[in-house]
Amino acid sequence: MGDLTKDIQAEAGGDLLPPNEELEERKSTKKRSTGVSLRSQLPRPQRSVNRRLNPGYYLQDNLENPPSRETVHEANALYLLMLREQMQELGLEIAQIDPALGRHRPGFWNARNLRALAGQFAQSPQRLWVYEQAQNVDLDSLNFITFQQLLNGLFEEGGVTWERVLVLFYFCTDLSVRAFQEKFINHFLDIYNWTTVFLSGRFSSWVESQGGWGTVLHRSVNYVTGTTLVVVCCLAIAAGFWYLKRR
């Protein structure tokens, strides 16, 4: 457990777990369940509605060749663009949480190409499927570990593709919007920050290895123009959603 604790703390960019003395005190005052899981061993995170969202602040992995700041910033700016536009369509304003978020803007052509891809995906049956998965997740079951495991599951089989990038973006924004609408502001903040952790690690390294966001999005737009959207309901994704819902 000691090594796992250090790894989790390193990935989360801070002290995710309390001191050993505090853990021992909790054990003596609270009866533990017979089932042992990562979630049961982790305390609920300290939350504050007034905390600021820091896109790209954390790095998910200890990478030998970490991505550049520009690639990480663009990944988070593109995700924030989708989140902001989805919320605006529903009459919600993300600036209610943190006005500084409105200042994060992606490059013009990257934003244009992402919107083109999102428009294709929005007309597909898979878009509804992703939305339904987000509605079925138990928000109280989410923690840093389970969320990262779920997102990693999207890319374990078949690697990173533009279809899966859209699934990732839409699923995370759907979860965030749902938490915001249901007045779970702390969940909203957690989901946003955990998503930026994922985007800032190996995901951005992959984008950079493909030539950067400009190359990835431009190639993807050319690929889908005049074609039918590829089915993205792969077993790895379905299994990941099922796992999270059952936590």
Which of the listed ranges 18-27, 96-105, 128-137, 151-160 does the model predict with the highest average pLDDT?
128-137
pLDDT exceeds 90 at position 172: yes
What phi, psi does 185 have (nearest 5°)? Answer: -65, -35
Does the structure show a pLDDT above 90 at 174? yes
Report how far residue 172's alpha carbon sits from residue 147's, in angstroms, rounded to the nearest whole number.
10
CA dist 168 → 3, 152, 162, 218 (Å): 29, 10, 10, 19
- The pLDDT score that the predictor gives to residue 59 is 42
Q: Domain-by-domain residue ranges, the chain?
A: 1-43, 69-246
For residues 4 and 81, the model is more confident at 81
φ/ψ bin of 226: left (φ > 0), alpha (ψ from -120 to 50), beta (otherwise)? left
Nearest alpha-carbon partner for 177 in 97, 57, 115 = 97
Give the whole-number percent of the chain exceeding pLDDT 70.
56
Does the pLDDT of residue 247 top 90, yes or no? no
Q: What is the mean pLDDT of residues 51-66?
A: 50
- For the domain covering 69-246, report its CATH number: 1.10.437.10
Tens digit of each residue's pLDDT (9 = 90 or more) over 203-220: 888 888 878 887 777 665
pLDDT > 90: percent of the chain: 4
Token readout for 206 is 């992959």
User: Model confidence at 244, in pLDDT bands (50, 70, 90)?
Assistant: low
Other beta carbons within 10 Å of 124 = 17
Ranking 144-153, 159-168, 233-242 by mean pLDDT, the lowest is 233-242
Give the other-Cβ count within 10 Å of 43's Cβ. 12
Mean pLDDT of the chain: 68
Task: Say how far apart CA 93 and CA 1 lie, in whole Å.
Answer: 41
Residue pair 60/202 in contact (Cβ under 8 Å)? The answer is yes
d(CA 64, CA 91): 43
Using the predicted structure, report yes or no on whether residue 141 has a pLDDT greater than 50.
yes
Residue 90 one-letter amino acid: L
- What pLDDT sits at residue 57? 37
10 Å CB burial of residue 55 (0-12, 13-18, 19+) is buried
Q: How many CA atoms lie within 13 A of 51 on its CB side?
A: 15
* pLDDT at site 37: 34
Higher pLDDT, 25 or 118: 118
3-class SS string, 162-226? HHHHHHHHHHHHHHHHHHHHCCCHHHHHHHHHHHHHHHCCHHHHHHHHCCCHHHHHHHHHHHHCC
What is the mean predicted confidence (pLDDT) over 66-91?
87
- The CB density around residue 105, as the number of other CB atoms within 10 Å, is 12
pLDDT reported for residue 175: 92
* Global confidence as pTM: 0.65
- Which amino acid is it at 201? G
For residues 102 and 190, the model is more confident at 190
